[in-house]
Amino acid sequence: MSSAAEQSDTTPAPWHIRKMTVADVNGVMEIEHRAYPFPWSEGIFRDCLRVGYGCWIVERNDEILGYGIMMAGAGEAHILNLCVKPESRGQGLGRMMLEHLINQSRRIRAQTVFLEVRPSNQTAVKLYLSAGFNELGVRKGYYPADGGREDALILARHL
């Protein structure tokens, strides 16, 4: 039988969210390249940080497990990227980051949060719909895809 002290040594530390820094970009890029066939460039992440977008990391034990990028202005927030490391999916990290971005939107008094998502990414679509987002429309040919382009669903949540 193990003691309580031994059990606590094997219990993973809780996840937490913090602001992304330039030092995080390499770790973010590793996840981005593994998660997407058409990843953002390092320059895009650096530019998001440089211009002051809301850039957040979810981590545990100094390991980046996911990230979210959001821009805001004129009473609106726009989630630009929300990604979880492939092997860390299914643990609630995407929902946790989404809730964080929504809370940040409320904090800056945004009235609506927008995002685009690939219709083929049914896991993400289900997450967003379950979080109160509604479909507003479609952007034709928005995303690069193998053999052409893929549409984007435009989703919004009023706060």
Dist. CA 72–CA 79, nearest whole Å:
9
Q: What is the pLDDT of residues 37-66, one digit of tens each?
A: 999 999 999 999 999 999 999 999 999 999
Name the pairing type of β-strands 76-84 and 112-117. parallel
**Mean pLDDT taken over the chain:** 93
pLDDT of residue 51: 98
pLDDT of residue 27: 97
Dist. CA 144–CA 148, nearest whole Å:
6
pLDDT of residue 34: 95
CATH (residue range 14-158)? 3.40.630.30
Residues with active-site annotation: 116, 128
Q: Averaged over 56-82, what is the pLDDT?
A: 96
Q: Where are the domains of the chain?
A: 14-158
Q: What is the pLDDT of residues 99-148, one digit of tens each?
A: 999 999 999 999 999 999 999 999 999 999 999 999 999 999 999 999 99
Dist. CA 134–CA 132, nearest whole Å:
7
Identify the three-state secondary structure at position 75: coil
The count of other CB atoms within 10 Å of the CB of residue 22 is: 11
pTM over 0.85: yes
